[in-house]
Structure 1
């Protein structure tokens, strides 16, 4: 097992928890999605710790990072990560991979810090502003619309977080058991924190701003990009590459069989090797 070290960084607007691992020659930043934390990358970190210096933060409002009232558009969240890397850690060249909302944050980071990002990998998510009316797969992902309603989701889910989140863990993978009991316990631990529902749902409620921000960018990304999609039910499959190609010049596609949405935990061997080959090529 690759050892991880836990740290906190006091940034301009958040107290950010992050883990580090590995001593490789290149830096790889891993950004998690929702309703998860850095922990979703545990298996990937274990496989890549001997090849990269890995940094995996808990994003604003999630995991063990603080939960400010505002700032959940992905441009602002990417700014948190950029501040961690540049100002706190002194890192100026890095590759970044993001899953789910972490993929949209990774895109914003690559767009706003293009001279420092060597490679971008987006895992099982579409990018807001790609020309589609929303990123909820035309209603297939019903919770995207549900969570836009102010206050009601918090009232219905509060105190029942285990029922709500376990439904997604059970149904969004290619098998019900792809998210381990240990991982579920870790995620539910962080969702018990005061304000955690509000800040998690804020990622969805900021999507209109994300669309405006991404559509305002006049140039496509120039760095190499990798688009990864699971092919089983609830995986986004080829949608990931189709979305990213509207916003990036050079996009390589990887479709992962026997894999739904939770790619880092469902198929860590395939994803880890793909990331390493992509970045080290």
Structure 2
């Protein structure tokens, strides 16, 4: 199955976002993770585009979007996405999907604009501020390392591809789940000036993200829209942590495990993910 994927740029208040579009039908917004870009959805988009209108942006600082010095807390990144999909593209209501750091961005967007999000899907990530410890007590060692000031930049300058490849080799169910041509695309964007700085900024904003999320849940209560929460069952997949995290933050949560899958869910299990999303969206549309 193929899809006619179009590339666009939108000049927003604080940032220029590169984004992909494809398909026709009810809108679906796909938010990627780190160290990836909208390119991670290339296997998912053709499986959805026959029924849905897809918008897949590169988040602030990542992919081919511009790289401002600040604004990497997820509430601000979510505001970028809202300005794009609502302000520029005129979407009033849409389905929203986030993987890895795209998940907390999606959560922040859904919490700020619950009237616009018909259904929220979170893939293999926990949400900062949910009451648990997102870094798994140090098992995800790169979290505190990336939050350390100055040292990652000094150690990784000119070696960004080594860091990215280590994550790809070790956090999937098998070392080869991200093929060379896809790695080359991620190397291209994260090796550009400011790319690795922006990657680190997503992690360094974690304390602010946790405060922001705890505050909005305390003020507004749990999310009311349907939520699908899925975690990879192998290697560094989150397992049931994703479901458990969202259950603390939303009232209507379904989901569970992605079989035979680590963290890189869009590449490792595209058919399973697409099937789960289509079923989830269809149930919401039928109500």
Match of 1:144 in 2: 143
Distance between the aligned counterparts of 1:223 and 1:55, measured in 2?
20
After superposition, the C-alpha distances for 1:56-110 in whole angstroms (9 at most, x for unaligned) are: 0000000000000000000000000000011110111100000000001000010
Q: Secondary structure at the match of 2:42?
A: helix
Partner of 1:11: 12
How far does residue 254 in structure 1 lie from its aligned partner after superposition?
Answer: 2.9
Distance (whole Å) between structure 2 residues aligned to residue 126 and residue 139 of structure 1: 14
Q: Which residue of 2 aligns with 1:44?
A: 44
Using the size of structure 1 for normalisation, the TM-score is: 0.98
Q: What RMSD in Å do the two structures reach over aligned CA positions?
A: 0.7
- Asked whether 1:270 is paired with 2:269, we answer no
SS in 2 for 1:184: helix
Following superposition, the deviation at residue 44 of structure 1 comes to 0.4
Residue matched to 2:23? 22
1:96 paired residue number: 96
Equivalent pairs, count: 279
Matched residue of 1:147: which SS? helix
Give a deviation string over 1:236-259, Cα, whole Å, max 9, x none.
Answer: 010001101111000001311110
- Runs of 4+ aligned residues of structure 1 deviating over 3 Å after TM superposition are none
Runs of 5+ consecutive residues of structure 2 not aligned to the other structure: none
User: Aligned residue for 2:231?
Assistant: 229
Offset, 1:122: 0.4
- Distance between the aligned counterparts of 2:258 and 2:31, measured in 1? 19
Counterpart-to-counterpart distance in 1, 2:4 and 2:182: 17
**Structure 1 alignment gaps of length 5 or more:** none
2:83 pairs with 1:83: yes
Cα shift readout 1:16-39 (whole Å, capped 9, x = no counterpart): 000000012x10000000000000
Give distance in 1, aligned partners of 2:143 and 2:231.
Answer: 19
TM-score normalized with structure 2 length:
0.96
